Amino acid sequence: MKSHDLKRRFFEFFERREHIFVPSAPLIFDNQKKLLTSSGIEYFEKYFKSEINPLDDPEPRLNKPLGAPNAVSSQYCFRPEDAENVGDNSHLTFFEMLTALTFGGYKKQTAIKITSDFFKNLNIFIDYVTIFSGGSGFSLDKDSEYIWKELGATYIQRLGLKENFWGPAGDEGICGSTSEIYIKDIGVWNVVFVDYYFPDTHKKLISGKNIRKIERLDVQGIASVTGLERLTAVANGKSNVFETDIFDGLFLPLQNTALTERQKRIAVDHLRAVCFLANEIPAGESEQLLKIGIRNLLRRLFVYERLIKITEGLFEEIIEKMVKLYNSDFKNPADSIRIINDIIKKERLGFTEMMAKGLKELLKKKSENSLIDAPIAFYFYEKFGLPFESIKEFSGVGAKNLTREDFENELKKHQIVSGKLEEKSGIGSRIKELWSKIP
């Protein structure tokens, strides 16, 4: 089944159940505290917070009220924090999320039953589901567990805050416990019970810090979400998202390279993200911030070009294939190909000399089995602009204990010392979201 057919069936399924279709929003999130959209829920936050009444207040994308307490939509999303995980069967930095939402229109039992019916309609067997086990003052989600048992779920796993609690997506926002569906060990679908607002980050929430500040929302909303790439994979019996029509033909230019399968997946994912990010670059401040996101992705690929000896121009060839494959997303495909490839060439030119010096020093440390901890990783990042993922990947055993969390803590420490981190203000938190400023 093609991805566009699945998307159509998703919309039709929920529209038959009184969900109002809402067109996609821009990838750029018009918010001082957040630059890029990372989920299909964020644009509907004001509904969950009762700041917009779905029956009376105009929905900006429709120029009229929803007219019902339920909506269905799709949304392109960018999650740079997943870059380290890209290369497995399911993770992507850029993906399309399908979302069905209710703002008090129905309860947990209906949401889970509708989800179960959707998979039955597609003849897809659910291997197992997870529910929230509670913790840090939250209770076990007994209701979801009972509902799934009544629907015939054969295996239900209880998981905690880290695995089964969504949000906030930015520095603060709506959040809630989840119940996730797994097929072939891929987390395909999440039912998010949007019950709370938390005035701090997801990291702080799952750590239990400031948990007393969490506020219960007046309206208990629900969002049922699935990544189109993952859904397409399981609907077609594929073991990973890259075997779907969404990536059709994009791996061909990489066939005869020395890249591993994982590295090929990273290259295609990162170039796809670059395509869509570059397509939305506006003028002014946001342009610079978006280029920071693009720069980190591209520099990881330039390291591949140098160390694995990829022919220069191969990535530009993939960009051309991508724009043609997704041409309905680009107003002028020919112009888009030129603009994106110009960005790649400019970034490559500006990074080549600095990269060569940094990699020479990094590989020397690797040959000596030298320890690469967070301060040393930060040194390579700050002085040579090497991305964290490249440092981790090409440092050998010396970096086996290096974690992104330790690296980001080191980065934050230096930002505070230099006065560059502006907590809770627009520019500071937005740059932080895109891996922060680099040389």
- How many residues make up the chain in this entry? 439
Helix axes 374-384, 404-418, angle to 10 degrees: 60
**Interatomic CA distance for residues 300 and 267, integer angstroms:** 9
Class level of CATH domain 3-235: alpha beta
What confidence tens digit (pLDDT) does each residue in 268-325 have? 999 999 999 988 876 555 566 667 778 999 999 999 999 999 988 999 999 999 999 9
Contact predicate 235/122, CB 8 Å: yes
Global confidence as pTM = 0.90
Contact predicate 229/241, CB 8 Å: yes
At residue 31, the pLDDT reads 58
What is the largest distance, in Å, between two alpha-carbon atoms of the chain?
Answer: 67
Contact predicate 198/212, CB 8 Å: no
Query: For residue 381, what are its two tokens?
Result: 């990042």
Closest CA to 145 of 159, 134, 156, 160: 156
Query: For residue 405, what are its two tokens?
Result: 């969390």
Helix axes 261-279, 314-325, angle to 10 degrees: 60
**Interatomic CA distance for residues 254 and 265, integer angstroms:** 10
**Interatomic CA distance for residues 270 and 307, integer angstroms:** 18
Closest CA to 402 of 389, 412, 386, 411: 389
At residue 287, the pLDDT reads 61
Query: For residue 71, what are its two tokens?
Result: 């909506």
Contact predicate 267/304, CB 8 Å: yes
Contact predicate 18/171, CB 8 Å: no
At residue 283, the pLDDT reads 57
Helix (H, G, I), strand (E, B) or coil at 178: strand
Helix axes 426-433, 285-307, angle to 10 degrees: 20
Closest CA to 228 of 12, 7, 79: 7
* Cα dist from 4 to 7, 10, 241, 244, 302, whole Å: 5, 10, 15, 11, 32
* Cα dist from 199 to 160, 397, 418, whole Å: 20, 39, 26
Given the DSSP bridges, would you call strands 128-132 and 156-159 parallel, antiparallel or unpaired?
parallel
At residue 28, the pLDDT reads 79
CB neighbourhood size of 170 (10 A):
19
Helix (H, G, I), strand (E, B) or coil at 222: strand
Each residue's pLDDT tens digit in the chain (439 positions)? 999 999 999 999 999 999 999 999 988 776 556 678 889 999 999 999 999 999 999 999 999 999 999 999 999 999 988 999 999 999 999 999 999 999 999 999 999 999 999 999 999 999 999 999 998 889 999 999 999 999 999 899 999 999 999 999 888 999 999 999 999 889 999 999 999 999 998 888 888 877 878 999 999 999 999 999 999 999 999 989 999 999 999 999 999 999 999 999 999 999 999 999 988 876 555 566 667 778 999 999 999 999 999 988 999 999 999 999 999 999 899 999 999 999 999 999 999 999 999 999 999 999 999 999 999 999 999 999 999 999 999 999 999 999 998 998 998 888 776 665 444 434 344 444 444 444 4
CB neighbourhood size of 371 (10 A):
14
* Cα dist from 312 to 250, 263, 276, 306, 336, whole Å: 17, 16, 22, 9, 20
All CATH 3.30.930.10 domain ranges of the chain, comma separated, are 3-235
